[in-house]
Structure 1
Amino acid sequence: MSGEHTDKQHLLGSGLATLAVVAASVGFGLVPYFARTLTAEGMAPHAIAFYRYAFAATVLLPFVWRARAQWIPLCWGFAAGIIMGVGWVGYVRAVDIAPVSTVGVLYMTYPVFTLLIAWLMFGDVPRRRAILASLMIVAAAVLATSPDAITAQQVPALMLSLAAPMGFAFGINVLVHKLSVLRPVVRIASASLGSVLGLLPLMATTPVAALFPVTVSGWWLVAGIAFGSALIPQLLYTVAAPIVGTARAAIAGSFELPTMFLVGWFAFAEPVGTAQWIACAIVISAIVLTPGKPVRSLVANVVVQGERQSRR
């Protein structure tokens, strides 16, 4: 009787954790809505990126201060945050002028860059299934950026947007290889603070009019991108992913891409063609193909390892 009750509790916890991962992924996928709307109000792309990370950095700063004795991994977290924050500016710029679905598929190429960086910087040789999944993602990106889907004027911005998945891939590798000694909340805090520091020079050279929203609704959008697509989803994912395991976290996390598609469709009346939906299916299939070591849920592996070490 007690065993049955325990199983039910476990299933309930796993189910709620899966919903938390889905909710986090939906939050990540809503970024194009906030970014494009704020850009339309006249805000600079790097200002939008700054606000996205600034709230998390401010709220979680005390955790960084408490962990200041671990300054070496903290510096790695700052470096990862700087690269991710600056790279995300290109993503915001691309969302402003290119179809959200196309930018979304390009962003989902981060597993390819993650494998390359892991191999070149940390000697982590990718497995065959990971290589196959990466080739599938590249094929999806090519399909989503076909001449029928974009114009020649959008190509430079789309190329620049690749800085975002490259920066995120570097951040994942730093998280896995350098930040495992830090508590999960400190990892998020150090990366967020690094992003803020990296964007400060751009903020300092920008006219004041492009740094702040001009309407009350704009400030609500700033709050939305800071909490609804950054701080809260990051915390949800970091807490829930270890409960559901890497395979389910990867599959649930793939909700981010169709969320981007739906944002473009409903919020900006962008038609999502057959090619984009096929690209979406290919990306999700690639994530499912590599359940043993999914890129996005490497966070979960690090958290689990940290918990195991703390119990010893």
Structure 2
Amino acid sequence: MAVRASDRLDVMGTGVATVGIIMASVGFGLVPYFARGLTSEGMAPHAVAFFRYAIAATVLLPFVWQARAEWRALLWGLVAGVAMGVGWIGYVRAVEVAPVSTVGVLYMTYPVFTLLIAWLVFGDRPGRRAVLAALMIIAAAALASSPAAVPAEHLPVLVLSLAAPLGFGFGINVLVHRLSGLKPLARISCVSLGSVLGLLPLLVATPIEALRPATVEGWWLVVGVALGSALVPQMLFTVCAPVIGTARTSIAGSFELPTMFLVGWFAFAEPVSLAQWAACAMVIAAIVLTPGKPIRSIAGNAAVGGRECGNG
């Protein structure tokens, strides 16, 4: 049977979209490289978080203006952005002192927080597979952050880093339950703007020396964290995810975690233990297990909606 040209284009489009999701996930996974490089130059963690969101908020601001009639949804997006921006400070602080692989696994606990918030706040009861996947992620986090893998002095910082997946989980819920009427770029913009507004008070109280990098190389890292790990990956997800659906997106998006592991290994000479690789495998298996159909449940939309909301 002959294959129509349109069929070939559909297949090509799916393949390109899958590659786009993988590239976006790699960009998200590079966050520790940029964050640690900037904090080592003396920048405060909240200043790093501010610069990550500021360019996206500025570039995409016209989309917020276009959607100004949907002010209630935009307000929800701003609140979600504040939660995500402030929570991301804990992630940057953890990357500064703890192994990247451990921090990466803890960050990937965001589906657990997403399910809990969806259930307790929005009445969105998770299915059995979603609950099983969440339990697998919790086990992976415990394995990666066990006393055998992490020095005891780093445990308080790792607990603080959970503010990032907590804020991210709240952001995903807002995205699905309150921002569905907005266009994708308007969602990214209002959430990024909320993060910027939430971090401004901290910037005002910070010495000027801690708000900017000290070298030209540091400014390139600022560009990298803003474009390479935020704006460009978010736009790739926004464009590519609808083409391939949530199931394939979640699988391709799992490249983020091993990317973090490789960043710690190659960029910072951090050995990755067998337990941490096992935790990585458990997280990816949980992502694959989670339902990927475009259903109302947060469990089915977290991977896609989360990155549209501005993942780290």
Q: Note whether the superposition's TM-score is higher than 0.5.
A: yes
Unpaired stretches in structure 2, ≥5 consecutive residues: 293-299
Task: Give the corresponding residue for 1:50.
Answer: 50
Percent identical among aligned pairs is: 69
TM-score (norm 1): 0.95
Question: CA shift at 1:35, angstroms?
Answer: 0.3
Contact kept? 2:49, 2:88, Cα under 8 Å = yes
Q: 1:146 Cα deviation (Å)?
A: 1.0
For 2:304, which of 285, 297, 307 is the aligned residue?
297
Match of 1:10 in 2: 10
Contact residue 73 and residue 178 of structure 2 kept, 8 A:
yes
Whether the 8 Å CA contact 1:84–1:168 is kept in 2: the answer is: yes
Residues of 1 paired with 2:253 and 2:66: CA distance? 31
User: What is residue 36 of structure 1 aligned with on the other side?
Assistant: 36
Residue 259 of structure 2 corresponds to which residue in structure 1?
259
Asked if the contact 1:246/1:298 (under 8 Å) is kept, the reply is: no
Aligned length: 302
Q: Describe the superposition over 1:167-188 as per-residue Cα deviations: whole angstroms up to 9, x where unpaired.
A: 1100000000000110000000
CA contact (8 A) 2:130 2:291 kept: no
* 1:152-301 alignment, distance < 5 Å: 152-292=152-292, 293-298=300-305
Q: 1:299: how far off?
A: 6.0
Amino acid in the other structure paired with 2:29: G
Deviation, 1:301, is 11
Kindly indicate whether the alpha-carbon contact (under 8 Å) linking 2:234 and 2:308 is maintained by their aligned counterparts in 1.
no
Q: Does the 8 A contact of 1:102 with 1:145 survive in 2?
A: yes
Separation in 2, partners of 1:300, 1:45 = 21
1:18-67 per-position Cα deviation (integer Å, ceiling 9, x unaligned): 00000010000000000001000000000000000000001111111121
Match of 2:92 in 1: 92
> Is the Cα–Cα contact under 8 Å of residues 109 and 137 in structure 2 kept in the other structure?
yes
Q: What stretches of structure 1 move > 3 A for 4+ residues in a row?
A: 298-302
CA distance 1:300–1:164, change in 2 (3 Å): closer
Task: Evaluate the alpha carbon distance shift between residue 6 and residue 300 of structure 1 in structure 2; reply closer, same or farther with a 3 A threshold.
Answer: farther
What TM-score do you get using the length of structure 2 for normalisation? Answer: 0.95
- Structure 2 CA distance for aligned equivalents of residues 299 and 79 of structure 1: 15
Cα-to-partner distance string for 1:258-298 (whole Å, 9 max, x where unaligned): 00000000000000010010000000000111133152124
The match for 1:83 is: 83
- Structure 1 letter corresponding to 2:250: A
1:105 equivalent in alignment to 2:105: yes
Unaligned runs of 5+ in 1: 303-312
Which residue of structure 1 lines up, in the alignment, with residue 295 of structure 2? none
CA-based RMSD of the aligned residues comes to 1.5
- 1:73 maps to 73
